[in-house]
Amino acid sequence: MNFTGTNNDDTYNGTSAADVFDMAQGGVDIVNGKEGDDEFRFGATLTAADRVIGGDGYDHVILKGDYSAGLVLSSTTLRYVESFEMTSGFSYDITMSNGNLQAGEVMTVSAYGVGFGGSGHYFHFNGSAETDGRFNVSDGYGDDILIGSQGGDSLSMSYGGNDYIDGQGGGDVIMAENNFGAGDFINGGAGSDIVYFRGLQSATIILNGANFQNIETLAVVGNYGADFQVADTLLAAGQWLNLDMRSVQAGQTVNFIGSLETDGRFDYYDGAGNDHFTGGGGADLYRGGNGGSDIVSGLGGDDYIYFGGDLDSGDTIWGGAGYDVMDLTGDLSAGVHFADDGLAGVERVVLRDGFTYKLFFADGNLNTGEGLLISSSGNIGAGNSVYIDASAETDAAYTMYDSDGNDTLIGGGGNDVFWSLAGGRDKLIGNGGNDTFVVAGPLHAYDSYNGGADIDTITIYNADKGGVIDLSTGKISIGGVAGGSVTQIENISGSAYADTLTGNSAANFIDGGAGNDTISGGQGSDDLRGGAGSDKLDGGAKDDILYGDAGNDILLGGQGNDNLFGGDNTDRLDGGIGNDDLTGGAGRDTFVFSTGTGVDHVKDFTNNFDYLDFTGVAADFADIQAHMSQVGTDVVIAYGTDKFILENTSIGVLDASDFLV
């Protein structure tokens, strides 16, 4: 039904149908649409004294006239109205009151066409008084002002002009379509607010604290790209800005440059297009995985960069300064070959569960002296594996962790570290450099540890039982469980338990660690360390150095000119064949003399405390005295060409209690 008002004070009640009320003639009117989807036309005559009650249905109020002087609605001017429209040809300045919307009610406010064609008309809307309703407001073509309510509003700047948007309270959704320019202003206000950029942006969007405030999330939607550059004033210290590009389609490019930001932080979600992200000085997040050829530069701060199975050689990751992590979750079994400039400034790569990873690193991925840690979470899962090839690296070091799959880890020319933790049939290859192989998990009969060139070390770590490592046979076992092969490895570091460690023909360094260890140097010039516990050390052939360290140790030099150091506690030192130096250290030590062994020097004998063992050589103390002479400050005990030289000792202080026969 159609109702036409007069210039008097009219009162109309609608029907249950869709009614049309033409109230443009003026007067103080009271109009109740009752039921149905009703339309109320007010021209330029709506005042705060009028009352429009939409009633049930979707009800629509239309203004057509000059409201530039400003209209402040009372709480009763509009009630139960779902749509409020400003038509073209005029300017509007509308202020809402708190009672215009019921709790939870949403009103759509439109100014489409206002200011069209450069007319200079504008739309100013202020809904800030509203406390429990919400507005969906769209602008016109002029210089518009949109101020939301205290709830979560939807505010749109779509048609040009220098627009001003203030979301006020609540979690607001702000749409910036087409061109967001230097004359535009967005303030999200309180709450968690998001700005969507949609449409063709003809120039770089400059965001700073003067034109973009209190926004928690920035997103790009539609089949368009965008270029963003932010100023340091955009974010306060420690403040986050979420960047959501997940709706950007393939073939589009988003450039985000945050390099001027010094103390804020970015959380970037990539899209299917080509994402070019440059972070700032804070610890930023980049969440890849949606495809495209992406360029990620963390710049400053400790950045975290996520990628999925879409990672390929077309992507570029530069961590920048700080401790930066690349976190991978996805099937990369086809292999990713990083170019020299495709990866840099990243300190750690994390491989997540449930996938196979095959990564090839280039020499340029690390600068001289840098290091990269590559770790899995340990539970790659049945049928999955890790393959890492860093063999191209010449002057930097990798640290690699295996998974529970059948892994292959290949180092480069630097001093690499390999952690064997999680089981599986693993192949660990050091190549060049002084590499370290840490055995910290279950052994497998098909495991292999190959040090390659230079001086490499195998270490038993965090075991609950002692181990056996024999470099001469290439065998390893821990707690009776046999492992695979050990080749081209020169040094050993034992566990905290009783280990049996054997060298080979190379110059080995073997450290037993804690526990009562048995250590044999083999055929090279070795450096043997007992560590804590009561250990037995045998230098074997050539010139060796033996340190008993803590515990009651037995040191046997073997062949060659050896240096024996007992260390703490009660030690037994036997130089064996060759001209040896024996130093007992702290504790009551026993120095063993044998014929046919050469000339040994006892460096720190203490009479009436240490012992000199001549068992099998002398019948008694008198026999020893007959072979004893004072030479300068030393006592020389000579049996033929074999001699025991007690340095800084006088014959007069020696008696039978010092000798074992």
Q: What is the 3-state secondary structure (H, E, C) of 386-419?
A: EEEECCCCCCCEEEEECCCCCCEEECCCCCCEEE
> Maximum distance among all alpha carbons in the chain?
145
Q: Checking DSSP bridges between strand 634-639 and strand 628-631, what pairing results, if any?
A: antiparallel
Residue 201 pLDDT: 67
User: Is the distance from CB of 411 to CB of 452 less than 8 angstroms?
Assistant: yes
Distance CA 206, CA 217 (A): 16
Q: What is the DSSP string of 473-538?
A: TTEEEETTEEEEEEES--EEE--SS--EEE--SS--EEE--SS--EEE--SS--EEE--SS--EEE
Sign of torsion over alpha carbons 140, 146, 152, 156: positive
Q: How many residues are there in the chain?
A: 661
- Give me the residue label for tokens 């026993």: 590
Q: What is the pTM of this model?
A: 0.88
Q: What is the DSSP string of 204-254?
A: PEEE-TTTEES-SEEEEESS--EEEEE-GGGS-TT-EEEEE-TTPPTT-EE
Rg (CA), the chain: 42
Inter-CA distances, 343 with 293, 367, 555, Å: 14, 11, 51
Q: Residues near 453 by Cβ (< 8 Å), separated by ≥ 6?
A: 431, 432, 433, 488
Nearest by Cα to 415 from 439, 392, 399, 438 = 399
Burial class (CB within 10 angstroms; exposed 0-12, middle 13-18, buried 19+) of 500: middle
User: Is the distance from CB of 609 to CB of 624 less than 8 angstroms?
Assistant: no
Distance CA 352, CA 255 (A): 28
What are the mean pLDDT values of the chain's consecutive 10-residue runs (661 residues total)? 95 97 96 97 97 97 98 98 98 98 98 92 98 98 97 94 97 91 94 92 86 96 91 96 95 95 97 96 96 96 97 96 97 97 97 96 97 86 92 98 94 97 91 97 91 97 94 95 95 97 98 98 98 98 98 98 98 98 98 96 98 97 98 98 98 98 97
Residue 179 pLDDT: 74
Residue 181 pLDDT: 85
Residue 178 pLDDT: 81
The arrangement of secondary structure in 527-660, i.e. its CATH architecture, is 2 Solenoid (2.150)
Residue 365 pLDDT: 97
Residue 381 pLDDT: 80
The domain limits of the chain are 202-211+222-328, 527-660
